[in-house]
Amino acid sequence: MKRALLPLLLVSMALPALAQDYAEVSLADPRKEEQALTLMDSIRCVVCQGQPISGSNADLAGDMRRLIRERIAAGDDPEDVRAMLIGKYGDWVSFQPQFKTETMPLWLVPLFALFAGVILVARRLKRKGKRWVGSSH
């Protein structure tokens, strides 16, 4: 009986080593791998903050890459996986935030800044124009 358990124990200990680590290994299906990479490029690393998880060396980014590949390999839609990550880490994790009341500042602040910049430049140009007209020699 003990002789039969030893090989079974050794095989069960080796199984985790045989499992595919989706954090660093590509999916076998090129179409699914492309979907996974596209999604990884659009998800922000919560450790590195300004870097996508596709290029981050942080352990958490590796976990997120693994999760994305596992879900896509299981047949999940990339947008469903994105929604799951947003649900877990918040809207900030996506480089492509959705337009809703909570994310309105992400969309409106840059527009207001651009509008304010245009107004400031227009005022400066208007003042310079008046100085040049009034200073005739």
Domain extents for the chain?
20-98, 100-137
Report the pLDDT value the prediction gives residue 108, as an integer from 0 to 100. 87
For 44-88, what is each residue's pLDDT tens digit?
999 987 899 999 999 999 999 999 999 999 999 999 999 999 999
Kindly state the tokens that stand for 96. Answer: 């492509």
Out of 1.10.1070.20, 1.10.3720.10, 3.40.50.300, 1.10.8.640, which CATH number does the structure's domain 20-98 have?
Answer: 1.10.8.640
For 12-32, what is each residue's pLDDT tens digit?
655 554 455 556 778 889 999
**The tokens 């207001």 sit on which residue?**
112
CA distance 87 to 85: 5
**pLDDT confidence of 104, banded at 50, 70, 90?**
confident
